[in-house]
Structure 1
Amino acid sequence: MSNLLSIGASGLNAAQVALTTVGNNISNVNTPGYSRQTVLQTENMSNSAGRYSIGSGVDVQSVQRAYSDFLTSAVWSSNSGVQRATTYNNLTTTLNSMLSASGNLQSALDGFYGGFDTVANTPGVASSRQSLLGSAGSMVTVFNTLAQQFTSQQSQVNSQIGTTVDSINTVASSIADLNAKIHQAGTNVPNDLLDQRDTMIQTLSGYLGVSTYAQADGTISVYASSGQALVSGDKSFALSTGTDRYDVSRTVVLDTTGTDITSKLSGGTLGALLDYRSSVLDSVQNQLGQAAVALATSVNTQQAKGLDLNGKQGGAMFSVPAPNVLAAGNNKGSASVAASITDVSKLTTSDYVLSYDGSNWNLATTAGQSVPMTSNPDGSYSADGLTFSLSGTAQKGDSFQIQPTRAAAGGLTLTMTDPNGIAAATALTSKAASANTGTSSIGAVTVDDPTNAALLSNATLSFPTAGSYQVTDSSGNVLSSGSYAPGQTISANGWSVTPSGTPAANDSFAVGINANGLNDTSNALAMAQLADKGILNGGKQSVVAAYGSLTTNIGTVGSQAQTNLTTQTSLYNQAVSAQQSVSGVNLDEEAASLVRYQQAYQASAQIISTSQSIFSSLISAIHG
């Protein structure tokens, strides 16, 4: 009877454990990270009774999680992807909003260049010149506002990087604590600790791409995408933030040794922040600055080729700051570098690192692409439209970061306040001598070098013979001479002419300052045409086109981010669905199990009751 009683008791215990487990599954059906649990039952060892053996009931070996390492790892990986895509999409959405919230730069550019047309059509109307300056001021404001918005987002991204690193360290510490508890539990590990650890790792994967390795002692080691260990056993290894070696306003991520691992991190929110900052925001700021530099340089150059209402050579209308030069914080030498933009047509949107190897200076983009430099006679170097002037003594390993256009849009300034300073007239004109007998004429005088000190000085172009020419100044000094062929360009004092027709011997032309400046507006027309004139990219792209390219790029980045978010969300949902098909709680299944184990419990109770009844009958028979 005792054997039958123990069998019933074992069945009762097994059914009770199973009922409790099913009840726990049902109550946690909506608990994030919960893995369905099942009872593992085994048959007890049989008792031998001579020619046969009798079973001795059931034993509950364990309560196990329904779990798949592969599917859970897939969820962690896809979670990293979807969180990265979400953060990236949010950042690009904000960037697109900035373009509309900061004013319409396209309209401002159109209004500015159109103002020169108005001045050209109404040369004597003061209000036209004043309106042009007003349009210029409005355009500068839009440039400045956009630049401020981009700089503000840089600050926000830097702040978010610091916050995310703090979150990573907090979660990593929690995983290490759970590892310690799981290790202490030995072979009888509570399933809730395992679920909690999985949930923490999934949370961590949302902040940063991670990889894991299960140790033999039940703990899990977690590594960042850089290879840096974040958790090992019961210890966590905190990341930290610091400032960029060149730019102290820029946040970088450091490992436990203080090494900058920013470029090695990817995935999750942190990966999105770092990638967006380097591949999108930096580029956008540089592109806007490039357009500002091109605008200021081209207009100022054309201004200098004309005369203002005071009959003077046109002055600068805008100013832009020089390129940023940032010395590395660990430089040991006394060298300093000054950078200037000398050829806008060769200017790129890259930032550079100028480094000294102990013998030579080398230039590379911040992305690591080597850039050849030209050595100039004065000891400076030139590359990509930039000139670097060095002073002091450098030591091996010293370096400088060059940001040619990063601050240009924010520092763009309208320096002209007097409407009379607009150089609407061409600077130079020519006049044929009355005694000329040939058919030659020289037409417009082109200003090639507005910085030439003798530009506005009177000069005479003469043809001693039909096949020769000479240019002399007002004192008769020869400035230029040589043989001549029809269609040949002749230059002197920073100007040039291309005569047409055939000169006769002793024909001459006077070249000098434009005496009809008040009524001449040809230089204003030339400035209006700058809207469509190629200035950047080797003279192929105008300022207006450059801004159009910028807005297109931003729109494309935003569209790609939205598409990627949709894709990553789908992948994440698929991974979760696959994982939940194994680990998730199905209420229909649990309800069926509840009935099954309830019946088993009742049947086991009936075995015990039967055993007791038989035992009572036996006792009664013995004492009867």
Structure 2
Amino acid sequence: MGSDLFSIGRTSLNASKKSLSTTSHNIANANTEGYSRQRVNLESATPIGEGNIVIGSGVSIKSVKRVHDQLVEENLNDALTKHQFNETRTSHLSSMEQIFNEINSDGLNKVMNRFFNSFRELSNQPENEVVRTLVRDNAQLVVEDFHRISEEITQVKSRMDKEIRASVEEINQLGTTITRLNKEIVRLENVGGETGDLRDQRDMAVRALSEFTEVKGYEAGRGEYVVNLVGWGSLVAGGSLNPLVARDVTGNKQSGSYSNEGRLEIAFEKSGKAASNLTEKKGSGSLGAIVKTRNEELEFLRDQLDEMAHSLVHITNAIHRKGFVNKKIPTDQQGNLIVRPGDPKITGINFFKEPLGKERASGNIAISDEVMDDLTNIATGLEPNSPGDNRIALAISKVQHEKLLGDGTKTIEEMYLETSSSIGLASSKAQINAEQSGGIVAQARSIKERISGVNLDEEATNMVKYQQAYQASAKMIRTADEMFDSVLEMIR
């Protein structure tokens, strides 16, 4: 009898001690991010048969497991993926929106209006040198603003490319962490129970990974977790990492960049070589948002700006070349113009330098050397030696209101305003989506916290309960000891 009591008391004492230890561990990690509270699972020990009766033999510790719901975990990861996509889109679109905003008196739309107005004023005073200077100065402001916006777009693209590279590095680091934890979990769980703390750390790494791109995973074997990047392939599988790589490649317009501008490519790297191109598989998460925004809205901004610059140069030059310089040109007795070899051009002069093409026109726009060097080379009339002829200046001023862009459906100003408003609309939509997805993330976190989080009041109650059980178990052992001593005394 004493032996049975000793045995039962020992199992009870051990179970209470393990439960107290687990409760203490929960309390210690109450503020540890990603920690899932742990619970000791007990079961009755195998009973012992004695004659025609069966007597219980105490309690055994079945397992120590974390309180965890994989579906809740996956829902949180999915919510984070969508939210980071919306948050990142909001951030980048907001910065792009500022590029076209008329926040001061020198915005592109305003300086273009002043440029056309100065030609309109020149049509009223074709001989006025002050007005000619104003035309050239306003044209230079247009050039500088095109250059400014073009450079800002280039800088935004450069920042996005840096973010993509940093994201790829972070994804690889998280993949390395998951691979390492996989190996540790497999090693420990093959000889023991669940490693709750390591599994929590791995879940945290997967959760961080899901902020960059959509992740789906599953447990392939005892403790090993396979991580798939949705639409791309496996990042972690078979105990090994399949890292990503970001590199510069020559692009073209069809693939989303200019032929003379480097394009960043994301690929899986195997045996030191890039595998499949992932750049166009935009995906979700913050990385997907950067790639999408860079390849779509930023390219749209560049295309629109280049079309405006190219159209302004092309139409202005086409009209300006028809006019004559504003200076006295010698004539013979019949009134024919006398033009000798080597004489400066008197007509066919471009107001702007002709760009090589539409691509990067906004970055290359410039006033022609002839106009920069000599104000009289600004043509105002269709006829030579006609001081009051204003037809060329008037025609250029009317370009402001002509529908020359978008296949003849928009003026330059309309395209500018449409471009600005479209980016603003996309930014507003992304912000609304971010607010909504942020609420979903908060809800998903709350659900996970209710299931897996540490409740200090509950743990304090458990501690008292297990402490009392421990004391009772100790008393049981003392009682068994006293009974055993009594038996020995009787024998003596």
TM more than 0.5: yes
Q: 2:112 corresponds to which residue?
A: 109
Work out the CA distance in 1 between the residues paired with 2:441 and 2:151: 36
Q: 1:408 corresponds to which residue?
A: 361
- Confirm or deny: 8 A CA contact 1:224 1:265 kept in the other structure: no
- Confirm or deny: 8 A CA contact 1:226 1:264 kept in the other structure: yes
SS at match of 1:414: coil
Alignment deviations for residues 70-102 of structure 1 (CA, whole Å, 9 cap, x no partner): 111112222222222222222122222333589
| Counterpart pick for 2:426 among 540, 557, 564 | 557
Work out the CA distance in 1 between the residues paired with 2:280 and 2:249: 12
Shift of 1:622: 4.0
Computing the radius of gyration over CA atoms, which structure comes out larger, 1 or 2? 1
Equivalent residue letter for 2:380: A
TM-score normalised over the length of structure 1: 0.70
Shift of 1:514: 6.3
Listed as ranges, the gaps of 5+ residues in structure 2 are 252-258, 330-345
Equivalent residue letter for 2:465: R
| Counterpart pick for 1:313 among 331, 347, 350 | 347
Identify which range, 581-590 or 55-64, moves more after superposition: 581-590
Work out the CA distance in 2 between the residues paired with 1:244 and 1:315: 40
Shift of 1:536: 0.8
Q: 2:483 corresponds to which residue?
A: 614
| Counterpart pick for 2:263 among 239, 242, 250 | 250
Work out the CA distance in 2 between the residues paired with 1:587 and 1:211: 33
Shift of 1:424: 2.0
In the alignment, structure 1 residue 299 sits paired with structure 2 residue 302 = no
Which structure carries more helix by proportion? Answer: 2
- Confirm or deny: 8 A CA contact 1:222 1:232 kept in the other structure: yes
Aligned 1:155-170 pairs, distance under 5 A = 155-170=158-173
Q: 1:456 corresponds to which residue?
A: none
Alignment deviations for residues 445-482 of structure 1 (CA, whole Å, 9 cap, x no partner): xxxxxxxxxxxxxxxxxxxxxxxxxxxxxxxxxxxxxx
Shift of 1:272: 1.5
Equivalent residue letter for 2:206: I
Q: What count of residue pairs does the alignment treat as equivalent?
A: 455
Aligned 1:577-596 pairs, distance under 5 A = 577-596=446-465
Identify which range, 3-12 or 99-108, moves more after superposition: 99-108
TM-score normalised over the length of structure 2: 0.88
Work out the CA distance in 1 between the residues paired with 2:356 and 2:231: 36
Work out the CA distance in 2 between the residues paired with 1:44 and 1:289: 80
Equivalent residue letter for 1:551: S
In the alignment, structure 1 residue 154 sits paired with structure 2 residue 157 = yes
Aligned 1:174-253 pairs, distance under 5 A = 174-185=177-188, 186=190, 188-246=193-251, 247=259, 249-253=262-266
Aligned 1:455-494 pairs, distance under 5 A = none
Alignment deviations for residues 304-332 of structure 1 (CA, whole Å, 9 cap, x no partner): 34334137436211125323xxxxxxxxx
In the alignment, structure 1 residue 570 sits paired with structure 2 residue 431 = no
The higher-RCO structure (CA 8 Å, 6+ apart) is 2
Work out the CA distance in 1 between the residues paired with 2:208 and 2:440: 17
| Counterpart pick for 2:123 among 120, 124, 129 | 120
Alignment deviations for residues 204-259 of structure 1 (CA, whole Å, 9 cap, x no partner): 11222221122033211111223321111310111112223435622101223523
Which structure carries more strand by proportion? Answer: 1
Percent of aligned pairs sharing the same letter:
29
Q: 2:38 corresponds to which residue?
A: 37
Shift of 1:50: 2.4
Work out the CA distance in 1 between the residues paired with 2:238 and 2:455: 34
SS at match of 1:600: helix
Alignment deviations for residues 547-578 of structure 1 (CA, whole Å, 9 cap, x no partner): 11111122112212212221221222222222
Q: 2:338 corresponds to which residue?
A: none
Q: 1:546 corresponds to which residue?
A: 415
Work out the CA distance in 2 between the residues paired with 1:595 and 1:551: 65
| Counterpart pick for 1:419 among 351, 365, 375 | 375
Identify which range, 78-87 or 614-623, moves more after superposition: 614-623
Work out the CA distance in 2 between the residues paired with 1:573 and 1:539: 49
